[in-house]
Structure 1
Amino acid sequence: MDFLAELGPLVLALALVAGVVLAAVLLYRTHDDDAGEASAREAVISPEVRAQLSQAPVEAELRRQLVEAELRSLRAQISPHFIYNSLNAIAATIPTDPVRARELVLDFADFTRYSLRAEGEFTTLREELAAVESYVLLEKARFGDRIQVRLQIAPEVLGVRIPFLAVQPLVENAVRHGMDSDTGSGTVWLRAADTATHAEISVEDDGHGADPQVMHQVLHGEAGNAHIGVRNVDLRLRQAYGAAAGLMVETAPGAGMKVSMRVPKFQPDPFQPDQPHQPDQPHQHQEES
């Protein structure tokens, strides 16, 4: 009876969270994508359209709409199997560890609230890392110690502003493609270094890697839906900071993959040029999660 008494509120909380997330997804798609799934797919701008835009002056409002379209596409990808897998992991934890299940419900709520938020194309590295932490905790509920994510973050760059959902999709890509298919395990390193004028952020895994030519095609929109999160982040970095600010991918078959970006520490919002950014005060160094 004590166990059932403990289980009841957890099941109710889980059902409530699932209902809230479903409502948020439906509201988001209704509000921002009246054309439904077809428009979500079209939100990944074709290379031909992107080439036309790059050949002519692009007005600020058009750039904003393009960024918002890319964000809608990225959010649409987050919802389906991540929600399904997370809820399954939480449900499996309830009988054996109800307290841990309650914590996972809160992690799930934090992650979905951040990922599906409607406002702003920018966030801070600190806020993005909080979303990464929630994501990793939910994945570890599925894979346990088979997945390891290690952090090495310079405290000076925690307040640097970055495009929204610029880091978490890279960590997700590293987890999905970096886990060894034979052992079902892998390690991901997330690093952020201070170089005085820039924050250098990288996500590296020890998986099977990929053909460099394939990743070149990914970044140029020539590989279909492969690594679409990486492509999306690359495009938004270039839109925000210029053509030279895209992702750098280092990989080879059997050698893992490292994806890096350089984000200026002091740069005004490209849509609000009169509002320069100032990083927050330093915080303590983070070593491992």
Structure 2
Amino acid sequence: MKRFEVSATSQSSLIPEFCRAPALLTLAYVMELIAVLLTLASYASGEAALKQLLVLSLYLHAIGLCCAGALCGVRRGLPPARDGVLFFVCWMVIALVTFAVSFTAWLIDRRFALGFVPGDGPWPFVLRNLVMAGIVALLLLRYLWERHQWQEESRAEADGRYLALQARIRPHFLFNALNSLAELIPSKPEVAEEMVIDLSDLFRVSLDSRQRLIPLREEIEIVKIYMRIEEIRLGDKLLVNWEIPDAVLDAQVPRLTVQPLVENGVLHGVSRLRARGMLHVIARREGAFLVVDVENPVPPEDAPKRAGTGTAIGNIAQRIKLIYGERAKLILGEDRDEFGPLFRARLRLPFVVHSGGEINAPTFTED
């Protein structure tokens, strides 16, 4: 019996990420802000205030950096455990680090007679800091856990919407492909078998939902399979110009985004011409973005019309918005070059070489 399971989110995502520089900079900013607030609350002024701010900054930054290092190690080395256990472990790590740093600070103060720590023994100072750190850590971890749950729910909702959109584009794709096959069989039955094989490859790709993002080179291979089908149907009428440098082939793009744009260019552009038509597929990098243009000639006004619902275009626009938000754009419009009017579909996406886990579709494992 086959069993399919949705892969669970790694438990490391439940532990605050302090292994990277941006998180450490944020932590340092927060610690310094706390030091300033504590200094203002002490009503110290002048040189005494500056001295107190310096001592508090050193002390709080020491606690912050040590806690960050300890949580980073826990994140990488902790064996699988329940969420409540992870929460307690993180809280205990922060408490133990605070205890160790506070006791060390008291020893340094006494060893060099600095006079920063009041009292004769270490325990009032250490326990006070331990209680304060425990309360702050409890509130902070609770906030982080709540934010994590909200992010997981939002991601699950986005995944569901994305998969629904992916499912909607398949019947549209199947309908157009079968229409092409139906037009080919009466005129060239000897090559229908080759087209069926190419169609099976296209359907296999369209049904694959393991990843949202694939390298541009794979998407171009999908386009070329589709173009072989259309070249069989249209013959010499269809010409294709590829301008895709090697430097952009590893850029990640959502699956089945370029292919529907090319399909629209063939169906509503080249196939309606009386003579030959050139389809241009151009990709380039513009700073932090990948730009893919699909250009097709504009048929004359009296050319036979092809009914369209805009399903594919609307689907692409919704999917890229789910993945990239406002950073991605799909721009459609007419333009003109030296050969006459043309229609351009421009896909503008963030240039990413490796897809991140946060924008991958759910993966499935088979036992």
In the superposition, the TM-score normalised over structure 2's length comes to 0.49
Q: What do residues 181-231 of structure 1 show as CA deviations (whole Å, max 9, x unaligned)? A: 351642210011123422211101112499xxxxxxxxxxxxx96322111
Residue 125 to residue 70, structure 1, CA distance change in 2 (3 Å)? same
Does the 8 Å contact 2:251/2:353 carry over to 1?
A: no
| Aligned counterpart for 1:62 among listed residues 157, 160, 165 | 157
Equivalent in the alignment of 1:255: 341
> Contact 1:209 / 1:251 at 8 angstroms: preserved in 2?
no
Amino acid at match of 1:67: Y
| Cα deviation code 1:129-171 (max 9, x no counterpart) | 1110010110111110111121100111111111111100000
> Is the aligned partner of 1:242 residue 2:325?
yes
Please name the residue that 2:228 is paired with.
137
- Write the distance in 2 (CA, Å) between the matches of 1:147 and 1:186: 6
Equivalence for 2:41: none
The Cα RMSD (Å) is 3.2
Residue 147 and residue 125 in structure 1: after superposition, are their counterparts in 2 closer, same or farther (change >3 A)? same
Is 1:232 equivalent to 2:319 in the alignment? no
Give, as a single letter, the amino acid of the residue that structure 2 aligns with 1:174: G
Residue among 266, 282, 293 paired with 1:175: 266
CA separation of 1:116/1:87 partners in 2, compared to 1, >3 Å: closer, same or farther? farther
**CA distance in 2: counterparts of 1:88 and 1:207, whole angstroms:** 23
What secondary structure, in the 3-state scheme, does the structure 1 residue paired with 2:239 have?
strand
Match of 2:184 in 1: 89
Q: Determine if the alignment matches structure 1 residue 76 to structure 2 residue 171.
A: yes
Q: Quick one: which of 183, 204, 210 aligns to 1:119? A: 210
Cα contact 2:317–2:330 (8 A) shared by 1: yes
Q: Which residue of 2 aligns with 1:188?
A: 279
C-alpha distance 198-134 of structure 1, shift in aligned 2 (>3 A): same
Instruction: Answer yes or no: is the 8 Å Cα contact 2:291–2:349 preserved in 1.
Output: yes
**Structure 1 Cα separation of the partners of residues 273 and 185 of structure 2:** 25
Match of 2:341, SS state, is coil
Q: What is the TM-score when the length of structure 1 is the normalising length?
A: 0.61
Q: How much identity, in percent, do the aligned residues show? A: 25
Deviations 1:51-81, CA, capped at 9 Å, x for gaps: xxxxxx9811111111111111111211124
In 2, Cα distance between the equivalents of 1:225 and 1:257?
15
> Partners of 1:69 and 1:149 in 2: how far apart?
32
86-95 vs 260-269, greater mean Cα deviation: 86-95
Mapped to 2, the partners of 1:252 and 1:159 lie a distance apart of 29
Instruction: Give me the whole-angstrom Cα distance separating, in 1, the residues matched to 2:196 and 2:298.
Output: 29
The answer to whether residue 293 in structure 2 is matched with residue 198 in structure 1 is no
Structure 2 counterpart of 1:163, which letter?
Answer: P
For residue 232 of structure 1, report the CA deviation from its aligned partner: 1.1
Q: Which runs of 5+ in 1 are unaligned?
A: 1-56, 211-223, 275-289
User: Are residues 92 and 85 of structure 1, via their aligned partners in 2, closer, same or farther at CA, if it must alter by over 3 Å?
Assistant: same
Q: How far is the alpha carbon of 1:273 from its aligned partner?
A: 6.7
Matched, 1:109 2:200: yes
- Give SS of 1:255's match: strand
1:265, distance to aligned residue in structure 2 (A): 2.1
Greater C-alpha Rg: 2
